[in-house]
Chains A and B, each alone.
Chain A
C-alpha cells in the first residue's frame, strides 16, 4: 500500500506465482514475478510463447482459465489489492480502471452487434444513455482516428478490415478512461503497414492519456519502439529488466542476448553467415527447476548455475538480471557457427522464367485481377522474395506457379526452358515434383491422421518414385537432412513442436529433388529462435542442392536474409523487381519505401517515417492510372491518376513502376536513407 499523498504505482506485482492444474497436479506457470509499472509508464513484456506473458495479463484482471490459480504473491492496481476485491468490487475495477486489448480483434468484437451498439453499451454501463452515449461513442472513434466514424458506427465487425477492428477494440478499451491498459500482442495478426499505423496510434494516445501500459509482445522490435521499460520473461520468471534502450543495446542475461541474435539484423544475408539459434527447449510448465532455468540452454552455464538459483541481481540504474554471470552475458558463444562456404555466383540459365502472367477471378460479375502481367526470372540456387501487403497477390502468384490455380490465357511459365502446363493435372510427373511448396501453417499442411513416416514415405514414393529398400534408405537421408531423427518418424504431427513440424513439411517438399520450392510464410507462426533454425536450414539446403526458392514473407528482415531477388507486389502488379540489395538499399519505389519504413526496427532510433493512409484498395475496383496513387506519399500529379506507369529499368536488372524518374527518386530518398530491417 502506498503512503497517502504519494502517487500509487499503476500496477504492482509482488512475488506473483500462478499455477495451472493439469492432470491433478498444480504446474507453476509464473514463479515469484515482481513487477512495477509506474503511473503513465509503458512497460513491455517479452519472451517466447509458453513463457507466461499472457498469464501475467490474465492474472491482473483475474481472468485466469478455470484450472488456473494464483498460488502466491499479490497484485495491486492503483494501490488496491486485486486479490482482496469481492465480486462487485472486481467488476467495478474491470469496468473503471483496467482495460485489455487482445490479439485477435475479430474475436473480441461481438459479430452480431453494430459497432455503435457495442461502444454505447460501455457508456450505458457508466450511466450515460441515449444521444449522450452515442456522442461519446463517436468521440471515441474520432480519437482512434478511424476514417468515417459515423459510418463505422452503423457497420458490423466483419465489414471492417483487421486494422479498423483493432482500432475499434482500442476505442472500446479506452472508453472508460482506464488507468491501466493491457495490450496483449495487439498487432500480431496485422500487416506491417497496418501494424505501423496501430502502433503510431497507441503512441499518440499515450501522450494524450494518462494510462499506463502493459505491452505484451513476442516482437522485440515492436516493444523497443513502444515501451519505456522492458521485462524479459523466461519459464515464468523475470530474467532481465531495465530501460528498453539498455536491455536491447546492452543485454545482461544470456537469454536476452541469444534472443536478439536470432533475428536477422542490419541487412544480414544468407551468404554472410548463419543466424544464431538457442539450443534445447523451454522447460515445460510446472517443471522442477533447480538452479538457473536457462542453464541447460546456456553455453556460459557452470556448476554454480545448475545448483544455485540466481537471484535478481541489481545492476544499478534500475536494471535487473537473473544471471550469476551477468557481466559476461554478452560473451555467450554462438550456438550455431556463423561460417559458411560462400558459394560462387553462377551464371547458369534461369530455372524459372515467367512472362506476362495474369489471373482474373470473377467476383460478382466484376473481374478481379489478382495477378496482372507479372514477369520474373530466377536462376538455380537463387531466392526470389515476394513482398507486399495481404491482398497484393503474393499467394495467388505462388499458386499459379504450382498449378493449383490456372492462369489466364496468354502468359507463360517456363521451367528449365520447357513450358509448364497451366494446370497441375496436365503437368508431367517430373514437372510436378520439380515445383513444391512449404506452407505457412504446418498444422494444416501435414495430415494429422498420418504418422511422420507415412507422410514422408508417401512423398518419396510419389515424388521420388522410390519403393522398398531404396525408399527406406532415402527416407533416413531425408530425415537427417532436415535434422530430425528416426525417433520422430513414428509420431503424429501433433506430438511435435511447431518448428519440428515445419521441418517435416520442408522434408516433404524436398522428397523429389525439387528445382523450385515455394516458401509461403514458413516461419510466421514460429518463435524467433525456431525461426532462426528454420531459416538456417533453408539456406543450408539451398547451398547444398542448388534449389531455388520463391520466398513469401511479411517480415522484411527475413526476406532480406534469404533473398537474392525481390519482387514488390501491389494489387497483383509488380511495382519493383530487382536484386535484393538494390531493392532494399534504394532508391526504390515509393511503395517499397513505405513498406520498409513501416517495419519496426530494433537498431534504429525514431526517424522520419512514411505512413500509408487507409487500406489497400479492392482488386475488383483498382484505382485508375498508377494503382498506388491513392496512397502514394510521393504522388506527383494528374499523370499518376490517369496513366499507368511502365516497369522501367532503373539500373541493369532493377525495374521500378513509377512516373518519377529514377534520378529524382534517388535524390528524394537520399536525405534520409531508410535503414532496412
Chain B
C-alpha cells in the first residue's frame, strides 16, 4: 500500500481498515487455529496437571507395596494392575510424569541458553572463531548422548542435576547450529551496519540488536528439542543412569519390569511405555504447530 507522507496528514499507526496484528499476535492467532498445536497442548497439559497434582487424586500411594496383591492384572480396583511389589500401576504412571517433566524442560532450557549464546557468538564473529567452534561442536554431536552420560556419571555421580547437565550440554550444539545460521542471515542486514556506525559493542549488537530477531527459530528448535529431551531422559532412566529408585519414573519402571513381559505380565510395562509415547507425541505436535505458525 502506498502512502505519501506529508506533515499535513500523518496516519494513525495502524489504519483501522487493515487490522494489523503485531507479529506475535499473528503467531498466537494461527496457533489457536491449529488443530495440531491444540491437540499437542492438550496432551502436554494433561501430563503437567498429573505431575503437579497427581499425587492428590491417585487412588493409591504410588510407592506403597502390597506384596499379597502383587502382579494382579488390570481390574476394577487396580485399573492398570499392580507390579511385582503390588504397587498400583495406574497411580505410578500418573505420578511418574513428575520427574521427567522437571528434568527434560530444565535440560532443554539449559540447552537453549547455552546454544543461543554460542550460536550468537560464532554467527556474529564468523571467521576463525566459527571454524574452530563449529568443528568442535560437530565432533561433540557425533558422540551419542548415552556415552557422554556414562562418562559424566562416572565423573559426577548419578543425580537429576547430572542428567540435566548432560542432556542440556549435548543438545546445546544443535541449538547453536540453528541460531548460527539465523544470525548469519541477520548480520548482513543494514541495521547491524548501522549499529557499527554507532560504535556499539559486540555484546550489544549480538544480544540487543540481533537476538530479538532470531527468537522464532530458537522457539521452534526448543520445542523440537523438548521432545528429544523427554526421550533422552526416559532412555537414561531405563539404562539406570538417570532418575533413581524409588521414583515411579516411567523409564525406570519399564527397566525394572520389562523382564516380566515374557511371563505375561504386560501391564507392568505397557502403560509406562504408552505414557512416554503420548508425552513425546504431544510435545512434537506442539513443536509442529509452533513451526507452522512461524513459517506460514
Contact pick for A462, options B20, B190, B198, CB 8 Å: B198
A499 touches B17 (CB 8 A): no
Q: Which residues of B contact A494 (CB under 8 A)?
A: 23
Check if A307 is an interface residue, CB within 8 A of chain B: no
Q: Interface code B9-27, partner A: CB below 8 Å = 1, 0 otherwise?
A: 1111111011110110000
Find out whether the CB atom of A529 lies under 8 angstroms from the CB atom of B4.
yes
Digitize A270-308: 1 where CB-to-B-CB distance is under 8 Å, 0 elsewhere.
Answer: 000000011111101111000000000100000000000
List the count of A-B residue pairs having beta carbons below 8 Å apart: 130
> Which residue in B11, B193, B197, B199 is a CB contact (below 8 Å) of A281?
B11
- Known contacts A441-B190, A459-B198, A463-B198; A499 and B13 CB within 8 A of each other: no
Closest to A48 in B: B2
Point out the residues of chain A lying under 8 angstroms from B20, CB to CB.
495
A432 vs B196: C-alpha distance when bound (angstroms): 9
Contact of B143 with A by CB under 8 A: no
A118 at the interface (CB under 8 A from B): no
| B66 contacts across to A, CB distance below 8 A | none
Q: Is A491 an interface residue (CB 8 A)?
A: yes
Among A479-487, A571-579, A613-621, A629-637, the stretch that binds chain B is A479-487
Question: Would A445 and B19 be within 8 Å (CB), given that A282-B2, A484-B10 are in contact?
Answer: no
Q: Is B190 within 8 A of A279, CB to CB?
A: no
B191 contacts the other chain (CB 8 A) = yes
Interface flags, A626-667, vs B, CB<8A=1, else 0: 000000000000000000000000000000000000000000
A-side contacts of B6, CB under 8 Å: 277-280, 335-336, 483, 533
Q: Is B189 an interface residue (CB 8 A)?
A: yes
Cβ of B1 and Cβ of A424 under 8 Å apart? no
Whether A533 lies near B5 (C-beta < 8 A) is: yes
The CA of A277 and the CA of B8, in the complex, are separated in Å by 11
| A55 CB to nearest chain B CB (Å) | 13
Instruction: Tell which of A98-106, A122-130, A359-367, A446-454 binds the partner.
Output: A446-454
Q: Which among A279, A285, A433 is the interface contact of B9 at CB below 8 angstroms?
A: A279
When distances are taken between beta carbons in the complex, the residues of chain B under 8 Å from A447 are 191, 209, 212-213
> Is B262 among interface residues, defined by CB-CB distance under 8 A?
no
Give the docked Cα–Cα distance between A492 and B23 (Å).
Answer: 10
A-side interface residues, number (CB < 8 Å): 64
Residue pair B199, A280 in contact (C-beta under 8 Å)? no
**CB of A185 closer than 8 Å to a CB of B:** no
CB atoms of A281 and B194 under 8 A apart: no
A445 to B192, CA, bound (A): 8
Q: What residues on A are CB-neighbors of B10 within 8 Å?
A: 484-485, 487-488, 500
Interface residues in A437-470 by Cβ distance below 8 A to B read 437, 439, 441, 444-450, 458-459, 462-463
**B68 within 8 Å of A (CB atoms):** no
Residue among A277, A285, A336, A444 with most chain B CB within 10 A: A444
Is B154's CB within 8 Å of the partner chain A? Answer: no
Q: How far is the CB of B117 from chain A (nearest CB, A)?
A: 18
Would A444 and B5 count as touching, CB distance under 8 A?
no
Question: In the complex, are the beta carbons of A439 and B194 less than 8 A apart?
Answer: yes
A402→B193 CA distance, assembly (Å)? 10
A424-441 Cβ-contact flags toward B at 8 Å (1 or 0): 110001001101110101
Verify if B200 is at the interface (C-beta below 8 Å from A): yes
Contacts of B4 in A (CB 8 A): 277-282, 297, 499, 527, 529-530, 533
- In the bound complex, residues from chain A placing their C-beta under 8 Å from that of B213 are 447-449
Our pick among B1, B14, B190 for the contact of A444 (Cβ within 8 Å) is B190
Contact with B along A312-355 (1 / 0, CB 8 A): 00000000000000000000000110000000000000000000
Interface status of B3 (Cβ within 8 A of chain A):
yes
A1-34, CB < 8 A from B: 22-23, 27
Residues of B within 8 A of A205 (CB): none
Specify which chain B residues have a CB less than 8 angstroms from the CB of A496 in the assembled complex: 13
Least distance between A529 CB and chain B CB atoms (Å): 4
A497 at the interface (CB under 8 A from B): yes
B264 at interface, CB cutoff 8 A: no
Q: Is the CB of B7 within 8 A of A483?
A: yes
- CB-based contact B198/A530 at 8 Å: no
**Assembled-state Cα–Cα distance A495/B23 (Å):** 10
Task: For B8, give the chain A residue with the smallest CB separation.
Answer: A279
CB of A23 to closest CB in B, whole Å: 5
7 extra A-B contacts, CB within 8 A, seeds A462-B199, A483-B5, A533-B6: A50-B1, A281-B2, A445-B189, A484-B10, A499-B3, A500-B10, A527-B4
> 17 A–B contact pairs at CB < 8 A?
A23-B19, A277-B4, A278-B4, A279-B8, A285-B1, A437-B197, A446-B191, A447-B209, A447-B212, A463-B198, A483-B7, A487-B12, A487-B13, A492-B22, A499-B5, A500-B3, A503-B5
A-B pairs with the 5 shortest C-beta distances? A449-B212, A497-B3, A462-B198, A445-B190, A529-B4
Chain B interface (Cβ within 8 Å of chain A)?
1-15, 17-20, 22-23, 189-191, 193-194, 196-200, 209, 212-213
